[in-house]
Amino acid sequence: MKKYNVAILGIRGAVGQCMYSIVKERKFPINKLVLISPSGAGGQLDGNKYVPLTKDVFNGIDIVLSSPGADISKEWAPVAAKAGAVVIDNTSYFRMDPNVPLVIPEVNPEDIKKHKGIIANPNCSTIQMLVAIKPLHDFGKIKRIVVSTYQAVSGAGAEAVAELEEQLKGSKLARKFPHQIAHNLIPQIDVFTDNFYTKEEMKMVNETHKMFHDHKIRVCPTCVRVPVKNGHSESVNIETRSKITRDQAIKLLKKAPGVKVIDDVKSSKYPLPIDADGRDETFVGRIREDISIPNGLNLWVVSDNLRKGAALNAVQIAEILIKNKR
């Protein structure tokens, strides 16, 4: 089997660390692994020393798994691509670039072949929603999505997790969030735009349109930060052109790649973020027909936002790349 020279850009961050763990777990065929820290050298993982971000660091690299922040990706992803690497970027910078494919392997793997050196990883909340609803869209064609997300603090980084832990011990200090997050919910993720939706919410709208290749789908999101350490949850309501019954939906979802159905309400079994933590699947439950419209379904969707919502999705793209010989 051919082996590849792989770099992880942004190794000190939570997603970078998760990328490292996942390439090891999945036995990605690595010849040389370079761990790049934009903040400079110092530190290591399993004997692999962190190296600083320089122009020459990408020489001979085949694939870059990138999560260093949008500003750094803006400058350095094109440098890496020019050096001959394919960059799979987890930041928001390239997602809506018409020349950069935005990819979820279970949703639109065919778009990977359109890359010109850079492939964008979608937003975590969009990833788990689309993994869950893609088989339903293929069957009944979705017209409208109303989604409320309940997003863990790990989605805001290590400092946010530390802030939650400090507040649970009695601290009232709020640095990462505009309000106390412990024992609270904050109906704001990212800043508000002119239409009174946040940037996080508009990501779900725009990314859904791009990956489903259908700008007619109406998407209405509300994104909420919750005092959960890791694992995003979503209440997803879809309206389809053709009716999908609960039984049909369960059958479709059980066959879908990357999806695990947990739906036994009599035994109080449904997806929970505490159970999704550290898992690769997107969990779906509370599947029921919408009693307010003829062709509607409600779903409860849970996933580990650091794994499938970021690092795992990037590694899965890399696996398809090497299958396609880049």
Residues assigned a catalytic role:
124, 232
Q: What are 250's two structure tokens? A: 């369960």
Task: Write a three-state SS string for the chain.
Answer: CCCEEEEEECCCCHHHHHHHHHHHHCCCCEEEEEEEECCCCCCEECCEEEEECCHHHHCCCCEEEECCCHHHHHHHHHHHHHCCCEEEECCCCCCCCCCCCECCCCCCHHHHHHCCCEEECCCHHHHHHHHHHHHHHHHHCEEEEEEEEEECHHHHCHHHHHHHHHHHCCCCCCCCCCCCCCCCCECCCCCECCCCCEHHHHHHHHHHHHHHCCCCCEEEEEEEECCCCCCEEEEEEEEECCCCCHHHHHHHHHHCCCEEECCEHHHCECCCHHHHCCCCCEEEEEEEECCCCCCEEEEEEEECCCHHHHHHHHHHHHHHHHHCCC
Residue closest to 307 by CA, chosen among 112, 154, 119, 100:
154
